[in-house]
A and B are shown apart, each in its own frame.
Chain A
């Protein structure tokens, strides 16, 4: 079973509107971290936002917020007031702390390609 699932291969949004990118995860570890990265066409992976499994509040970073629903195992990224520069691939990733010593790596989803239309 996939540990990180991003069900939207592509999404379109109008400039200045909000968009939600979906991410569901699968883990039995009580302690884990969830990350979102942005990858523009240049290729660099840019860290956007982090949510810890024990965090009570949803994480926010500027126009980015993470809608964390622990019981549903979902960690959706919300981008408010979309800009043309937001057009990129977006990856959800998870890092588990206790799973047999594999706390070193990020497990990535396959990504969602976001296109912002003017």
Chain B
């Protein structure tokens, strides 16, 4: 089955630690995205990547880092510089970045800072 997987589903982090969230897709999509969702809010874009070895900052990139070494994978690292990392993180992918290109989402990772 084609789709997007994210792991882990739940993640707990101590203050001062970096953690990495995994996102893998087998849809052969070129573009991938990371969004953050806070309670009662819509999604906000953290980073996106249009092709392998290229990525761009979104609206709230501070305290986060990404890599895109393979087409299928787009991991997100939440660094200790992120002041309020507790949130729900969603990864998405699309064929391209045109206005008609639908973004499909993974099941999400819920990160809690202890």
Residues of A within 8 A of B (CB): 4, 31-33, 35, 37, 42-47, 50, 52-53, 91, 93, 95-97, 103-106, 108-111
Contacts and interface: CB of A to CB of B under 8 A. Distances in A.
Given A31-B99, A104-B56, A109-B42, A47 B50 contact: no
Contact of B102 (A50, A109, A111): A50
Given A43-B110, A44-B108, A105-B58, A97 B99 contact: yes
Interface of B: 31, 33, 40-45, 48, 50, 56, 58-59, 88, 90, 92, 97-108, 110
Contacts of B88: 43
Contacts of A110: 40-42
B90 A91 contact: no
A64 to B, nearest CB: 14
A70 B88 CA distance: 33
16 contacts: A4-B42, A32-B99, A35-B102, A43-B88, A45-B92, A50-B100, A91-B43, A93-B43, A103-B99, A104-B31, A104-B50, A104-B56, A105-B45, A105-B58, A106-B103, A110-B42
